[in-house]
Amino acid sequence: MVLTEIAYAKVNLALHVRHRREDGYHELETLFAFADVGDRLTARGSEVDKLRIIGEFAAELAAPFGNIVSRALGVLPRADGLDIELEKNLPVAAGLGGGSADAGAIFRLVERTHGLPDDWLARAARLGADVPACVESVTCVGRGTGADIETVASDLSSTPILMVNLREEMPTGPVFSGWDGIDRGPLPQGPVSRIAAEGRNDLEEAAIAICPGIATVLASLRKTDAFLVRMSGSGATCFALYHNHDAMKRAAESIAQDYPGWWIKTGSLR
């Protein structure tokens, strides 16, 4: 039997950093959404766990046995193994939760083949703060370090999204360290569209200080017919939301012509 899962690209429609915690992490509130594109995982039965990585960004990943996919397999008890082929389509260290999304897809594959243990949420959180959200891969609000999630109905489902990345990896730690420490308040209340529109990404300034090209990406997206433009996560991927697919396609074609070296991906919010 062959099973497949898409590791859906994670997008932070809003990301509010509230304060630095004594344990070194940051207390935050974020609105997670997921695009209908991402890495592709194919699973086959096996006596032992195996992992092969292919795709455009395969060379940028660490050795297979240190990969978060292997770690995800390792924290989920099973009677037999899975032979996993990971097609790496999302850029690495890009604010799209690529590794966490891959881990989330592993949890869904194991759920389909073996079922998940009752404490799967804690196991997911140990792999990364946004892994629990990526297991669900539906719109949700994350609190704490991002691992405390609450799913919410979204009035932005099926909204066209354009994601753009400079093809420069962005280290998460330095971006959070560069946050200015000012608490600018919690997420807005109301429907997802309002939270996204009135929210913000408190890490944009710190990310631009490390990678000034992010400002160029944001400016390019703001020249299009998007109704929302923002950086996702700690960067460097930025995204734009559109009222229709024609506007999104025109924007993607225009930016690709002006910046042929950038990674550009179109899709829809789930």
Strand order in the sheet with 228-231: 228-231, 238-241, 160-165, 263-268
Concerning whether 265 is annotated as a catalytic residue, the answer is no
| Active-site position among 10, 39, 88, 102 | 10
Burial of 184 (0-12, 13-18, 19+ CB in 10 A): exposed
**CA dihedral over 94, 95, 96, 100, signed as positive or negative:** positive
Under a CB-based contact definition with an 8 Å cutoff, are residues 67 and 39 in contact? no
Q: Report strand pairing: 50-54 vs 81-87.
A: parallel
- Enumerate residues 6+ apart whose C-beta is below 8 A from 159: 241, 242, 268, 269
Distance CA 136, CA 146 (A): 13
Query: Among 39, 49, 102, 130, which one carries the catalytic annotation?
Result: 130
Write the CB contacts of 211 (distance below 8 Å, at least 6 apart in sequence).
Answer: 166, 168, 170, 235, 236
Cross-strand bridge partners of residue 230: 239
Mark whether 10 is an active-site residue. Answer: yes
Active-site positions? 10, 130
